[in-house]
Amino acid sequence: MIFNDVYNELRVLDAKPAPLYGTLLGAVRSESIISHTEDADIGYQLSSSNAIERLKQALWWKGYHVFHQGIPRVCIVPTRPLASKMYDRTANLVMKNTVPYVDLHKMKRQLFDFGAHWEIEYARHGWKMPNEEFQPYAQVHLRDQVFDTVADPIRYLTMKYGADFRTPWLRRSHQTLGLMENYNRSS
């Protein structure tokens, strides 16, 4: 729900949204969001701060809050009727992100003497995507819907996650990692 709302608002603003990172990975692997992740990732092409403000306002009216934590992020506001289904307002404050949210990654085209490349916010340090791997957009299926994304999603995912990106890896929960750290310290 939150992914679709944010994606559609970015389309209204002609920001050319694209699922990226783990969201694109889930779409390519199984046409779904990866179950153990709390966030979704959308790339966007907005050129003005005014456009970001319009996005914030549009999402606010839909019951979402846009905040900045290194990159723009979108979460549901606690007063939204469905908020109680998504997280427990009485729970203790946690520093890890444990409720659904969307990360927004700015995508910017850069022209060089030898051609155009795309820089994606939070991409591997120094990695720029060649224009032909970025445009024109391809499409992926995600939860029975079609979304535009980078021209060569397989190349993108290979560069990001390695050649075996189609094979899921075991992810330990934050609680498990904490137990392992405590165990290692006491041994």
Which CATH number goes with the domain that contains 11?
A: 3.30.460
Give the mean model confidence (pLDDT) for residues 29-40.
85
Number of domains in the chain: 1
Q: What CA–CA distances, in Å, run from 99 to 8, 41, 122, 159, 162?
A: 21, 14, 21, 28, 28
Asked if residues 130 and 117 have their Cβ atoms less than 8 Å apart, the reply is: yes
Range of the domain at 113: 2-186
pTM, rounded to two decimals = 0.80
pLDDT in tens, 47-63: 777 888 999 999 999 98
The yes-or-no verdict on residue 133 having pLDDT over 60 is yes
Which range is least confidently modeled, 44-48, 61-65, 143-147? 44-48
